[in-house]
Amino acid sequence: MPQYKYESRTQYGQSASGVVTADSAMAAAQSLRTQGHQILRLSPVGSLGSGSLGEKLKKLNVSSGPGARDVLNFTTQLAVMIRAGISLRAALDGIAEQTENPKFKEILTSIKTDVESGKQFSDALKKYPKQFNVLYVNMVRASEMSGSFSKMLDRIAAYQAQSIETRNMVVGAMIYPGVIGGMAISVTIFLLTFVLPRFAGVFEGKESAMPKPTLFLLWVSDFMVSWWWAVSIGIVGLFAGLYLFTRTGPGGWWWDRTKLLVPIFRRMFRALYISRSLHTMGELINAGVPMLDTLAITGDISGNRLYQRLWRNVYIAVKQGKKIAQPLQRNALLPRAVVQMISAGEESGKLGEVLDEVSSYYHKQLREVIKTVTGMIEPIMIIVMGSVVGFIAMAIILPIFKLSTLVK
């Protein structure tokens, strides 16, 4: 069970500190309040032991910039401290002091300074778009106007946790075929550069009696052994060129379109983009963010240029006085059933609730699709590896049988 360090003031005005064990930060804060403590600081106890390998890895990690997990932990702690009655300035000061990442500590200190100078919290966050994106800033701004700051922070933390979970699932699904494919390529290179050259001497001078597959593999093997440096440079150049190409405008469109066309992965990416778009849109609507701002942010958060263009078209249509569902009906990126539910939500005035339900459905579907994709990849890669290795083995064995027949 997680442990949390706390600093508090008792009901008699005395300072107190220690460690409390609870299921969550919320439960820890509630336990302390029932004991009469006024919480000043509350932060999770690190699970990596000092002086251990984990501590060394932690020190390496803090040298990098703050990531999504750092922002999630900050948001969760801030929500707990605000709910406990701690002022925003004191909460920021306490969290910054406990933060181990020096870059993130610098950011939080700057935000605290801006808040102390009279700036709105959302305006202070806006200075750091890499850590606090437009969705985060707009949800905080909406909570400042409505007075539901701590509840909004909980919603933001829940959204961030789901986003991190989704990203980890997708990355995990992409790593698996990459590892299997890398193993297949490594085995093929080993056979062509180490195994096949051992048989080259046996076949030397007997080329006329060898089948074409063997001659082809011998040529490939000789080329790779002699020009291995050129092959290595070519492979690295190919991947580097593809990566740089996807960073250009036309390349980015091609890559985003390809992800929605590849047979095995298209269902996974489709569910990912629909879930992310509708979840973002639902959170912003429920937070009270204006509809035009909601649509603009949804497009930016979607993660795919095709879906970004879709939501921009909806933005233009809504700006002209049309309903959200109207431009969606002419686009194949969203299923017809989703468009009908969005239309029903608009008519009933419960669009935010409808979007939450639909995004939850597609998040569950994304889990199922990832399991299906990873389950399909394994037999496919085994078949591919078996075919390649079998082809090389047969190309070596067949001429041996043929030569032995000629000798007889």
Predicted local distance difference test score (pLDDT) of residue 38:
67
**Alpha carbons 131 and 103: distance in angstroms, whole number:** 11
The neighbour count for residue 272, using CB atoms within 10 Å, is 26
**Domain boundaries in the chain?**
3-158, 159-408
Q: Is 38 left (phi over 0), alpha (psi -120 to 50) or beta?
A: beta
Classify 159-408 by CATH class.
mainly alpha
Q: Outline where 117-246 has alpha helix (H).
A: 121-125, 134-146, 149-190, 196-203, 212-226, 228-246
Mean pLDDT along residues 289-318? 89
Q: Judge whether residue 209 has pLDDT over 70.
A: no
* 28-37, 79-88, 155-164, 356-365: least confident range: 28-37
Q: Which residues pair with 16 in a beta bridge?
A: 8
Structure tokens belonging to residue 210? 């060898």
Residue located via tokens 């889990």 = 367
The yes-or-no verdict on residue 48 having pLDDT over 60 is no
Mean pLDDT lowest for which of 55-69, 263-277, 350-364? Answer: 55-69
Read off the pLDDT of each residue in 62-88 and give the average, rounded to a whole number. Answer: 81
pLDDT at 203 over 70: no
CB atoms within 10 A of CB 160: 20
Domain 3-158, CATH among 1.20.81.30, 3.20.20.60, 3.30.450.20, 3.40.50.2300:
1.20.81.30
Q: What is the mean pLDDT of residues 79-94?
A: 84
Give the separation between CA 79 and CA 193, rounded to whole angstroms: 59
Treating both helix axes as pointing N-terminal to C-terminal, what angle do 149-190 and 266-287 enclose, rounded to 10 degrees?
170
Confidence of residue 223 (pLDDT cuts 50, 70, 90): confident
Q: What pLDDT does residue 256 have?
A: 92
How far apart CA 211 and CA 139 sit, in angstroms, is 69
State both tokens at 287. Answer: 């937070």
| Neighbour-count burial for 378-401, b at 16+ CB within 10 Å, e otherwise | eeebeeebeeeeeebeebbeebee
User: Alpha carbon of 216 to those of 129, 185, 396, 402, 405: distances in Å?
Assistant: 55, 18, 11, 17, 22
Percent of the chain with pLDDT over 90: 7
DSSP secondary structure letters along 124-149: HHTT-TTTS-HHHHHHHHHHHHHT-H
- Give the best-scoring range by mean pLDDT among 191-205, 288-302, 374-388: 288-302
For residue 253, what pLDDT is reported? 93
pLDDT over 80 (residue 220) = yes
More confident residue, 206 or 236: 236
| Mean pLDDT value across residues 246-273 | 88
Looking at the DSSP bridge assignments, the partners of residue 41 are: 7
Decide: 372 and 271 in contact? Cβ < 8 Å.
no
Q: Are strands 3-9 and 38-44 parallel, antiparallel or unpaired?
A: antiparallel
Per-residue confidence band for 12, with pLDDT thresholds at 50, 70 and 90: low
Chain centre to alpha carbon of residue 26: 26
CATH topology identical between 3-158 and 159-408:
yes
Measured CA to CA, the distance from residue 384 to residue 46 in angstroms comes to 45
Question: What is the structure's pLDDT at 55?
Answer: 47
What is the residue-averaged pLDDT of the chain?
Answer: 81
Q: How far apart, in whole angstroms, are the C-alpha atoms of residue 129 and residue 300? A: 13
Q: Residue 365, Cβ neighbours under 10 Å: how many?
A: 17
